[in-house]
Chain A
Amino acid sequence: ETGVTQTPRHLVMGMTNKKSLKCEQHLGHNAMYWYKQSAKKPLELMFVYSLEERVENNSVPSRFSPECPNSSHLFLHLHTLQPEDSALYLCASSQASAGGEYPLHFGNGTRLTVT
C-alpha cells in the first residue's frame, strides 16, 4: 500500500469520450502532482498543486484539465484525447516546500489507452 490510491487502474477511451482519473492520498501531504510516463521516456511533470493552488502547468494541452478540491484529492479530467496520449498517468504527493526537499510518493498509476 503506497498511501496514494489511483482509480481506475486501467482505462480505454475513444477520442470523443470524456473521462476522469482520480487520486487520493492518505499521507497528510499538502502538495499533489500529475506525471505522465511513456515508454522509453523519463517521467514528465504535468501539473503541481501546492496547498490546493495550482503552481505548475507544464505546457500541457487543454484537453487535460486538473482539479484539486482539497489537499487529499486530485483529479485529471480528460476530453478529446489523441492516441499519442496513451500512457501511464501517475499521481504523487509530498510535503509542500519552496525548496522541494521532500520526496514524492507515487500511486500505482492509471494505464490509459486512447483508441
Chain B
Amino acid sequence: GESVGLHLPTLSVQEGDNSIINCAYSNSASDYFIWYKQESGKGPQFIIDIRSNMDKRQGQRVTVLLNKTVKHLSLQIAATQPGDSAVYFCAENKNDYKLSFGAGTTVTVRA
C-alpha cells in the first residue's frame, strides 16, 4: 500500500552544522505535508507545513522542500542545536482529515 516513509531511522549531526531529514511518499494525490518534532516524554510538536502548490517554505531556522516529481520531502534545520535532538516525523494528507505518518528519524546532536 501507499505510505509515508523516511530514508534513515537515525541521524547524528555536529552542533552548529545544518541537518537534512528526508522523507519519501508514494501517493501522488497527497496535497498537504507536515513535519513534526517529538521530544522524549512529549507529544509531536508541529514544526512546519507545506501545500502541494509550493516547493519550498521557510520558518525560523527550518526549511521544508517538496519535490513532487520524485515524491520527496525534506526538512532542513540550520545551525543545529542540542535542543533539536528529537524524533522527526513527516506526515501527508490526501485531501481528507486523515494524516499518514512515517516511522520517524531520530536526530542526535553531538556537542
**What is A's interface to B at a CB cutoff of 8 Å?**
2, 4, 6, 31, 40-43, 45, 48, 50, 55-56, 90, 92, 94, 96-101, 103-109
Partner of A108 from the list B31, B42, B103 (CB cut-off 8 Å) is B42
Partner of A104 from the list B46, B51, B95, B103 (CB cut-off 8 Å) is B46
- A109 CB contacts on chain B under 8 angstroms: 42-43
**What is B's interface to A at a CB cutoff of 8 Å?**
3-4, 31-32, 34, 36, 41-46, 49, 51, 89, 93-104
B45 contacts A106, C-beta separation under 8 Å: yes
Known pairs A43-B89, A107-B43; A99 contacts B102 (CB<8 A): no
- B100 CB contacts on chain A under 8 angstroms: 42
* CB pairs A–B below 8 angstroms (20 shown): A42-B89, A42-B100, A43-B44, A43-B99, A48-B98, A55-B97, A96-B97, A97-B97, A98-B97, A99-B95, A100-B94, A100-B96, A103-B34, A103-B46, A103-B49, A104-B34, A104-B99, A105-B46, A107-B43, A109-B43
- A40 CB contacts on chain B under 8 angstroms: 103
Give the complex CA separation of A66 and B103 in angstroms: 25
Give the complex CA separation of A107 and B89 in angstroms: 16
Give the complex CA separation of A43 and B101 in angstroms: 6
Give the complex CA separation of A104 and B93 in angstroms: 11
A108 contacts B97, C-beta separation under 8 Å: no
Give the complex CA separation of A56 and B3 in angstroms: 19
A100 contacts B98, C-beta separation under 8 Å: yes
A41 contacts B96, C-beta separation under 8 Å: no
Give the complex CA separation of A95 and B89 in angstroms: 21
- A45 CB contacts on chain B under 8 angstroms: 98-99
